Structure 1
Amino acid sequence: MTHPLVTIVVPSYNQGQFLDEALKSIFEQHVPVEVFLLDGGSSDNTLDVIEKWKSRLAGCRSHRDDGQAAAINEGIARGSAPFVCWLNSDDLFLAGGLSKLVTALEDAPEAPAVYARAWNLVQETGKRYPVWVQRFSRRRLALRCIVSQPATLIRRSAWEAVGGVNPNLHMVMDYDLWWRLYKQEGPLHFLDDFVAVNREHENTKTNTLRRQHYREAISIVREHNGYVPIKWWISQPYSVWYKSLFR
């Protein structure tokens, strides 16, 4: 039996319309994986999708929980593979994407994690455009989140060293994680290739809770960088109020 190389957690809540495609994109990767699906007690067709894939899952459950971050920590703790990641139930891996991430992280033994490029897919129109991603530097990370979460892979040793994601955060647990990995374990490695899809739709937390998202992000920058660059204050009217009007 092939031992899993990657532990993948799929946190989900009422995302049944996307979940099947997300799981299909995982199991079509040519990488031995163990997949834990942790659902927060959905009331849509999620249970039907779970039943469809149950024989392929390393573990699954559906009940009320303490939120996305807590579910991610729970799932990764249940696994044993040397590399870990999570894929939200409305996102996707591109064909061969996970293999590219594994190879890149194996080729960069000093890095705690690797991240690559991803597409933003606008659900309502079918259009896509690249997620803003840049090569890693502290200055760039302080100006904005330069890491696209669906396109990341993390060493389990680094994940455990920093204690996973912060369960008290609900919007920017990934941004906080990149900071803590960098400060404790070293710079993240950048792979200049597309490996995943970030689905953008009207019910994402980024769209429905813009003010909370921006507020959490600023607090993370202040905590890890020591101060908040002026760029955050200049961008706030557009990122919060203007986009809220026209989303």
Structure 2
Amino acid sequence: MHPVKISLITVSYNAAATIDKCIHSVIDQDYNNMEYIIIDGASTDNTLQIVKKYHDHINLIISEPDKGIYDAMNKGISVATGDVIGMLNADDYFATPTVLKEIAGVFAANHNIDALYADLDFVKPNGKVVRKWRSGKYTEGKFNYGWMPPHPTFYCRKNLYDKWGNYRLDIGTAADYELMLRFIHVGKVTVFYLNKVLINMLIGGVSNKKSIALVKVLHFDMMAMYKNGLIFPPISLILKRLRKVRQFF
């Protein structure tokens, strides 16, 4: 069985408070056939000093101004050489040391699978879980009912980006949602649900920050829905928000 090479991309900007834990969770992985790429947006704090401490474990470090998180992700995709690409945000970390091994195992054993997603926990800085995102198995048309997988758990074969394109910079905070909608709902790629928690996400991510008006977030979601042909976007938008409420416990 051909070993699957995973390209893991971390995008950072002034992430000194969290990136050490993120990188450690990568170093602790028990899967070696991977490349680790860090794309930094010219941080002005000591993010880069922290990153460079681990240069022996990082294949490529790029630090330069960019047009935001999704532009940086696109830069990472353009230089990635793996069979499969995934993103690990600077304020996220792997839930266990076996995550990449399990992801690679799914792709290696199932050559027809184009993409994979799993579950995610929202955590406080002390590690306490405050929200649980349980995706469930995808069935065709599920996006019409407000469903989406957690983007930090989304891994796909590199050739999907060649066929279906990268992250759109005109969709704002919904760029990750739009890309998965485009790949899965429109492109009908074969997707696999790994029924376990792969990622711990620190609460207060980009799309959840109070500085970003909710109306703007909803506008970007609606744009993504219309551009990818959902049946009735206003209903899908309402259901998508209700699904977030159900994540609390």
TM-score class, shorter: 0.7 to 0.9
Q: Does 1:177 align with 2:176?
A: no
What is aligned with 2:102? 100
Q: Does 1:220 align with 2:224?
A: yes
Check conservation: 1:65, 1:71, Cα contact below 8 A: yes
Check conservation: 2:171, 2:224, Cα contact below 8 A: no
CA distance in 1, matches of 2:123, 2:5: 28
Deviations 1:91-137 (A, max 9, x none): 11122112112212333322320001111113388333311412112
> 1:4 deviation in Å?
7.5
142, 149, 164: which one aligns with 1:140? 142
Deviations 1:119-165 (A, max 9, x none): 11133883333114121124322232421112121111122211222
CA distance in 2, matches of 1:194, 1:235: 21
Q: How does 1:98-177 map to 2 (within 5 A)?
A: 98-123=100-125, 126-177=128-179
What is aligned with 1:194? 197
Size of the aligned set, in residue pairs, is 237
Check conservation: 1:133, 1:147, Cα contact below 8 A: yes
Following TM superposition, where does structure 1 have runs of at least 4 consecutive aligned residues deviating by more than 6 angstroms? 234-239
Unaligned stretches of 5+ in structure 2?
245-249
Which amino acid in the other structure matches residue 166 of structure 1?
A: R
Check conservation: 1:158, 1:185, Cα contact below 8 A: no
Q: Which deviates further from its counterpart, 214-223 or 178-187?
A: 178-187
Deviations 1:178-200 (A, max 9, x none): 12212225242111111111221
Structure 1 pair 216/187, CA: closer, same or farther in 2 (3 Å)?
Answer: farther
Check conservation: 1:117, 1:195, Cα contact below 8 A: yes
What is aligned with 1:29? 29
The percentage of counterpart residues that share the same residue type is: 17
Check conservation: 1:112, 1:181, Cα contact below 8 A: no
Unaligned stretches of 5+ in structure 1?
240-247
Q: Please, what TM-score do these two structures have when normalized by structure 2? A: 0.85
